[in-house]
Amino acid sequence: MYIVTGGAGFIGSAFVWQLNRMGIEDILIVDNLGRTEKWKNLVNLKYLDYVHKNNFLELMEKNKFQDVTAIIHMGACSSTTEADADYLMENNFHYSQKLAEFCLENDIRFIYASSAATYGDGKLGFNDDHAGLKKLRPLNMYGYSKHLFDLWAQKKGLLDKIVGLKFFNVFGPNEYHKGDMKSVIAKAYSQIKDTGKLKLFKSYRPEYGDGEQKRDFIYVKDCVRVMAWFLEHKEVNGIFNLGTGKARTWNELARAVFEAMHQKPNIEYIEMPENIRDKYQYFTEAKMDKLKRTGCPCDFMSLEEAVKDYIQKYLSQDDPYLK
């Protein structure tokens, strides 16, 4: 059995899709569907059962799940604006500790989601070398909750036994339930379809023009292929960046969206809300050398190829979900 926490969420459901493509259907999904639209991510997927996240730990500790091959822990509050620090501590940090300990005690493969948000403003670079973990200073509580688990795993000497993935700017199908946390590609498609133009934030640093801020955008299909590779290579462990290794500007992303929609670029630059100006990242780029040295295939789709695939095969279709 494969257990995917956050299995109804964005990357989690995409990974269930990847497992299905590998012929694996003996999957337990752990999540909190509540009143969200996440259930729609599951409709096209094949899995064994669903368990609410609040019940899962108790069932796990009572050994209710047998022959578990791996736990892929994507479940977390991923909102960078979440203000309830106690909730993030419990949900993102302590929950992850319990899962990791259970996996190690029972010889179960453990792969978990860290985040590029742990790098803070990026002044210290984006190097996933374990030696630099203690120096990182996340800018928000979400990033800090992820960073705390990375530090705990390091302190416990677990980084040669488990896999942590620092996801950069992931986009793709099955992110529709995320509201304001959806990728700019998903938001841009709707904006352009409705108004014929796209709004991007102005720059407030002289070294960056409007729309020239850069991010490392990576397609969710590439992410789940890497995750599947780690399932099959249990000898490889540690914390790894997961981006393309090539930062691209918002303007380049915008042009890719317009191109995929067969429209001429029409961009309006708007003021950035004051409450996020001091915490805004102007540049992110994953350092990918460490992952490449493992032998993991890192031939990722270009931004233009991925945006075209996302828009033309999913966003523009009646059923935009992975299947």
At 276, which amino acid appears? I
In the chain the beta strands, taken as DSSP E runs, fall at: 2-5, 27-31, 49-52, 70-73, 109-113, 163-167, 169-171, 198-201, 214-215, 217-219, 238-242, 248-249, 267-270
* 178: annotated active-site residue: yes
**Catalytic-labelled residue, pool 178, 187, 199, 287:** 178
* 310: annotated active-site residue: no
d(CA 238, CA 288): 13
d(CA 268, CA 252): 14
> Are the beta carbons of 145 and 82 closer than 8 angstroms?
no
SS3 category, 113 = strand
d(CA 27, CA 20): 9
How far, CA to CA in Å, does 303 sit from each of 186, 220, 254, 315?
Answer: 14, 12, 11, 16
**Catalytic-labelled residue, pool 47, 95, 119, 142:** 142
Q: Which residues are catalytic?
A: 142, 178
